[in-house]
Amino acid sequence: MSIQDYSAKQLRDAIASGAVTSVAATAAIFQQIDKLQPSVGAYITTFKDRALASAGEVDRKIAAGEPVGPLAGVPIAIKDNMCTDFGPTTCASKVLESFSAPYNAHVVEQLTAADAVIVGKANMDEFAMGSSTENSGLQKTVNPWDATRVPGGSSGGSAAAVAAKMCYGALGSDTGGSIRQPAGFCGVVGLKPTYGRVSRYGLVAFGSSLDQIGPMTADVTDAALMLNVIAGHDERDSTSLGPDIAPACDYLADIDKPVEGLKIAVATRFNALADEQVQAAIAQALDVYTKLGAEIVEVDMPHFDYAVAAYYVIATAEASSNLARYDGVHYGHRTEKPNDYVEVYSKSREEAFGQEVKRRIMLGTYALSSGYYDAYYLKALKVRNLIRGDFTSVFEKADCIVMPVSPTTAFKIGEKTADPLQMYVADIYTIAANLAGIPGISIPAGFDNDNLPIGLQILTPAFTEAKLLRIAKMLENQTNHHKKHPE
Amino acid sequence: MAKKIDETQVRKVAKLARLQLDDAEVAQFSTDLSSIVEYIEKLNELDTDSVEPLAHCLPVHNVFRDDVVKPSLTVEQVLANAPQRADDFFKVPKILDDNSGA
């Protein structure tokens, strides 16, 4: 097996044992980046010199017998909406094209403390608003499986980088499916942790009650390894939960232990909204679980049909408020010649925000404006409660619920850009987990007739990521989908 | 058919959002927002009179910390990304008229 085929954990172990050096692994990653970045476009920024220096320092520590962290020497990518005090943090927006953050996000500190090697910042939909990475204001990313197709979004650069082996793992962020959907489209593993599990300090805010950072990796074990590094309490994010509610946990410890007496909920009516090939892959996966002794429990999710509508009110309302900070005054783009101080705001914002970001700011502002607040925003928050209630009922009957990640496999570039509503509605399977704050994972579940990856999603109750990962690993152990890679 | 959100409303919302949209965008957003809001109105199919709104999912409410002074960013760090600066200040166009009496 070549070094390129190692998982993050295998590489970590090989580096720790002295079998390979981090410098060699990092140099190999940059060879791959040099080869594929022009066609795939996964990264906005790369840090070759810095990464090789970090790798050299890890190799030195290991040679000297010094203790090293759990990701020692492993090249990792970060979505470009997480602040780094080195290089730009752009959110793929012209607003922040030349913005350099003065501090590191909590997750960047955690990766650094774990001795990971940070390779670069990955492309995304501008301010994480989108499902295809076509809304990036800076560059294009394509799906490594088919260059005519989107990688998904908004963490499309992170997913493409993992799939194309331009890193050994990546961080994404997920507000309505932005980790799980691109993971599904690119045939990798994507984990959205419970809201509050990972600190959002230094994550550029989109929908603050929905955003969560999580790992995107080659397999389930690597997701557990990376979650170990990034999870935990951080007082700088008041929504990051302490050990009283979210006790620290070693997600790797029991990863290979199957869940005994596993009960899997399935909402057949809801799953039937997906393409036939997607449905077939889900059915096959459920057969695997059944053979392992799991029991399938049919459930109804009566309010799921309303999740997309509730989400696009809540997320845009929060976004319109969060993005008010881009006013051209303290940082970010400022218009050249404002006629008055109002134009500093209104022209700067007009010039630098992309169409989808403007559309969402407009929608959110409308939903919060006088006379419409009760009808839209308050109504959506009430429906959010009903959707959470649906999950509560399901988890009284089953350990998890299994469904597609998206109704289709990766769609063609340009296919959905003309109709924003069509793009929104395709988020149907991922959005509910964000509204309910629960964890979800996307794992490879097969390929369609065009050889495009199909993703399967598993959702479990809040703060049960350890069990979620074990359930995912049960399927992965029986299949080889995650071992297939784009050519 | 009249649009759910006409161009006058789009201009009003754009002003609230401080977005100086051009005419083409106003027309486009009138179309886009109308179809999205029509879709969102399916929420009205649900009776939510007895349902509490859920703003976030955490079992925590107020989170306090001790009121102690801690290190913060330096002035240079804070101003490093300023579009325009004058000495230790962010520079912006004049906000008040010369004859406003302020």
Task: Answer yes or no: do B57 and A437 touch at CB < 8 A.
Answer: yes
**A382 an active-site residue?**
no
Q: Inter-chain contact B65–A235, Cβ cutoff 8 Å?
A: yes
Asked if the C-beta of A342 comes within 8 angstroms of chain B's C-beta atoms, the answer is yes
Q: What is the pLDDT of residue A366?
A: 97
pLDDT score, position B102: 46
pTM of this prediction exceeds 0.90 = yes
Q: Say whether A407 sits in a helix, a strand or coil.
A: coil
Q: Say whether B60 and A384 touch across the interface (CB within 8 A).
A: no
pLDDT for the residue numbered B98: 65
| Per-residue pLDDT tens over the stretch B15-53 | 999 999 999 999 999 999 999 999 999 999 999 999 999
| Positions of chain A with pLDDT lower than 50, given as ranges | none
Can you give the pLDDT at residue A439?
Answer: 98
Q: Measured in Å, how far apart are chain A's first and last C-alpha atoms?
A: 17
Residue in this structure with the two tokens 């997309």, named with its chain if needed: A308
- Determine the 3-state secondary structure of A110 from DSSP: helix
**Which residues of chain B neighbour A241 with C-beta distances below 8 Å?**
58, 60
To the query of whether residue A154 is one of the catalytic residues in this protein, the response is yes
Q: Which band of pLDDT confidence, cut at 50, 70 and 90, is reported for residue B94?
A: confident
- Residues in chain B with CB shorter than 8 Å from the CB of A333 are 83
ipTM over 0.95: no
Q: Is the pLDDT of residue B101 over 90?
A: no
**B53 interaction partners in chain A (CB closer than 8 Å):** 378, 381-382, 384-385
Please tell me the predicted confidence (pLDDT) of residue A385.
97
Select from A408, A179, A84 the least CA-distant residue to A277. A408
Whether domain A3-263+398-483 has CATH 3.90.1300.10: yes
- Interval B10-19: pLDDT, tens: 999 999 999 9
User: Mutate which of A204, A382, A388, A434 to disrupt the B interface (most B C-beta within 10 Å)?
Assistant: A382
Class of the domain covering B7-45: mainly alpha
As a residue count, chain A comes to 487
Token digits for B88?
A: 């230790």
CA distance A353 to A346: 11
Count CB atoms within 10 A of the CB of residue B68.
5
User: Per residue in A5-41, is it b (16+ CB within 10 Å) or e — as a string?
Assistant: ebbbbbbbebbeeeebbbbebbbbbbebbeebbeebb
Name which residue leads in pLDDT, A355 or B102. Answer: A355
- CB burial of A178-211 (b: ≥16 within 10 Å; e: otherwise) equals bbbbbbbbbbbbbbbbbbbbbbbbbbbbbbbbbb
From the number of C-beta atoms within 10 Å of its C-beta (0-12, 13-18, 19+), residue A370 rates as exposed
Cβ <8 Å between A437 and B19: no
- What is the residue extent of each domain of chain A? 3-263+398-483
Interface check A417 vs B, CB under 8 A: no
Do strands A400-404 and A263-266 pair parallel, antiparallel, or not at all (unpaired)?
parallel
